[in-house]
């Protein structure tokens, strides 16, 4: 057992509710605080000197200088296992080329599929671990990672096995998600429905057998999979025992409603969500996950986070880091920009990157600094926690703790 501190401010987020809008006045701030950690869990949070006097024989890990501490951030939607580079896609898109023109010139998702299939396991593992380490350096201690650039049995399993190997090379918690239903691959001879059935019969049983993922995702969109076939796939996937999530309403509305109807853990993107479906989401336990990185990468409007929160929805914020539409990867910068355009309070943004994002992943032991939670937290060298978002990602994390151990 040890006491870590003192911290100028501890932002526990412990008293904040799971859903709906939040005011900054609801944020509890412990000044000159400390955190008692026991076997990787938080034992107590409170005034540093009081904790020290009450636990006189306890080991003390002293924090030098003025620092604030927040729960470790959760990035609940990434595609960071991939091969290749799509900088040319970004340049062409900014030059006015359409999605179809980019795809016809050799870009788009299929480009990433080809690069990922051609990359060796060693290459993919090396670059994946590098990206994980970058996210950890930002204070992100839990990372969801999707497959979806393999799109056949061999290569989807290759991706998921690499994600599993990466877990052995990081203290961050990795949450793998099978996104074989990213789009129908060009080399699959058959219809969308036949490809989805191929996933159900050939890929998912092997994923379950090897314990490679407990979550399954699908991209519902005109360019990918259509609503009815997707709904049928999700129901069957759930029957196989998987948790489900959905790429929903990115360019056209309607699929977020499907996510709610089938009991998905989250509906991610939502840039095109209409008002009646905002109400539908708000009345459910499906998390509405905003992906501002995709809006910035594509020049599209942002997820209507303000409307979702005002309606009472559970809103998370994730990076969508991928080689095509969201290449930045900096969750804090993206969330700060989303807050500016959607008029989100600091409390709403912090909740969206911590315990609300954790809920989208089915995790209850992280996201707040309170007794019984895992001791995952991040410190910043500042005297005011508001500076983290104010500096829009340029205030670097000072220390990152996972399970009470400093790893960065």
Q: Cα–Cα–Cα angle for 187, 203, 145, nearest 5°?
A: 95
Task: Note whether 254 and 381 are same-domain residues.
Answer: no
The answer to pTM > 0.95 is yes
Note whether 187 and 235 are within 8 A (CB): no
**CA atoms within a 13 Å half-sphere pointing along the CA-CB vector of 331:** 34
Task: Note whether 150 and 205 are same-domain residues.
Answer: yes
- CATH label of the domain that carries residue 44: 2.30.40.10
Mean pLDDT of the 103-108 span: 83
Q: Which residues contact 249 (CB under 8 A, 6 or more apart)?
A: 255, 256, 267, 269, 270, 271, 272, 273, 277
Whole-number Cα distances in Å, 65 to 6, 72, 267: 9, 20, 41
Does residue 99 carry a pLDDT above 80?
A: no
pLDDT in tens, 365-404: 999 999 999 999 999 999 999 999 999 999 999 999 999 9
Task: Note whether 90 and 225 are same-domain residues.
Answer: yes
pLDDT of the residue at 27: 97
| pLDDT tier, 104 (very low <50, low <70, confident <90, very high otherwise) | confident
pLDDT in tens, 261-317: 999 999 999 999 999 999 999 999 999 999 999 999 999 999 999 999 999 999 999
pLDDT in tens, 314-329: 999 999 999 999 999 9
Task: Note whether 286 and 219 are same-domain residues.
Answer: yes
pLDDT of the residue at 243: 98
pLDDT of the residue at 103: 81
Task: Note whether 105 and 6 are same-domain residues.
Answer: no
Number of structural domains in the chain? 2
Task: Note whether 174 and 77 are same-domain residues.
Answer: yes
Task: Note whether 53 and 112 are same-domain residues.
Answer: no
Mean pLDDT of the 230-237 span: 98
Mean pLDDT of the 136-146 span: 98
Task: Note whether 352 and 372 are same-domain residues.
Answer: no
Task: Note whether 295 and 386 are same-domain residues.
Answer: no
Task: Note whether 117 and 65 are same-domain residues.
Answer: no
Mean pLDDT of the chain: 97
Q: Say how many C-beta atoms besides its own lie within 10 A of residue 39's C-beta.
A: 9
pLDDT of the residue at 316: 99
- CATH label of the domain that carries residue 237: 3.20.20.140
Q: Which residue range is the domain that position 253 belongs to? A: 73-360
Note whether 172 and 132 are within 8 A (CB): yes
Mean pLDDT of the 192-204 span: 98
Mean pLDDT of the 195-222 span: 98
Percent of the chain predicted with pLDDT > 90: 96
Task: Note whether 64 and 93 are same-domain residues.
Answer: no
pLDDT in tens, 46-90: 999 999 999 888 999 999 999 999 999 999 999 999 999 999 999
Mean pLDDT of the 137-156 span: 98
Query: For residues 12 and 36, what is the distance between their CA atoms, to the nearest angstrom?
Result: 13
pLDDT of the residue at 342: 98
pLDDT in tens, 242-259: 999 999 999 999 999 999
Task: Note whether 324 and 195 are same-domain residues.
Answer: yes
Does residue 106 carry a pLDDT above 90?
A: no
Q: Which residues pair with 62 in a beta bridge?
A: 5
Mean pLDDT of the 219-235 span: 96
Residue that the structure tokens 């992280």 belong to: 366
């Amino acid at each position: 057992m040890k006491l870590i501190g003192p911290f100028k401010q501890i932002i526990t987020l412990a008293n904040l509710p799971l859903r709906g809008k939040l005011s900054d006045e609801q944020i509890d701030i412990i000044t000159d605080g400390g955190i008692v950690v026991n076997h990787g869990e938080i034992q107590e949070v409170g005034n540093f000197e009081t904790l020290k006097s009450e636990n006189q024989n306890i080991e003390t890990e002293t924090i030098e200088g003025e620092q604030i501490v927040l729960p470790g951030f959760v990035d609940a939607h990434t595609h960071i296992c991939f091969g290749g580079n799509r900088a040319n896609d970004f340049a062409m898109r900014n030059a006015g080329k359409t999605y179809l023109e980019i795809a016809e010139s050799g870009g788009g998702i299929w480009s990433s599929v080809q690069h990922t299939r051609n990359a060796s396991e060693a290459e993919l593992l090396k670059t994946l671990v590098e990206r994980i380490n970058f996210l950890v350096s930002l204070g992100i201690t839990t990372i969801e990672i999707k497959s979806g650039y393999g799109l056949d049995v061999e290569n989807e399993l290759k991706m998921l096995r690499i994600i599993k190997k990466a877990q052995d090379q990081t203290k961050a918690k990795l949450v793998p998600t099978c996104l074989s239903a990213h789009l129908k691959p060009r080399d699959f001879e058959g219809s969308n429905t036949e490809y989805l059935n191929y996933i159900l019969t050939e890929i998912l049983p092997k994923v379950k057998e090897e314990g490679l993922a407990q979550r399954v995702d699908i991209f519902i969109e005109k360019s990918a999979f259509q609503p009815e076939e997707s709904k049928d796939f999700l129901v069957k996937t759930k029957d196989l025992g998987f948790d489900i999530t959905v790429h929903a309403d990115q360019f056209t509305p309607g699929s977020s409603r499907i996510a709610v109807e089938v009991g998905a853990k989250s509906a991610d993107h939502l840039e095109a969500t209409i008002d009646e479906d905002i109400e539908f989401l708000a009345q459910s336990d499906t998390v509405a996950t905003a992906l501002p990185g995709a809006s910035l990468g594509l020049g599209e409007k942002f997820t209507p986070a303000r409307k979702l929160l005002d309606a009472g929805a559970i809103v998370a914020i994730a990076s969508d880091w991928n080689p095509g539409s969201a290449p930045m990867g900096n969750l804090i910068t993206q969330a700060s920009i989303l807050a500016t355009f959607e008029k989100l309070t600091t409390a709403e943004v912090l909740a969206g990157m911590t315990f609300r994002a954790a809920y989208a992943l089915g995790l209850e032991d992280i996201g707040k600094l309170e007794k019984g939670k895992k001791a995952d937290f991040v410190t910043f060298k500042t005297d005011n926690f508001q500076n983290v978002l104010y500096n829009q990602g340029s205030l670097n994390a000072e220390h990152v703790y996972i399970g009470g151990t400093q790893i960065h």
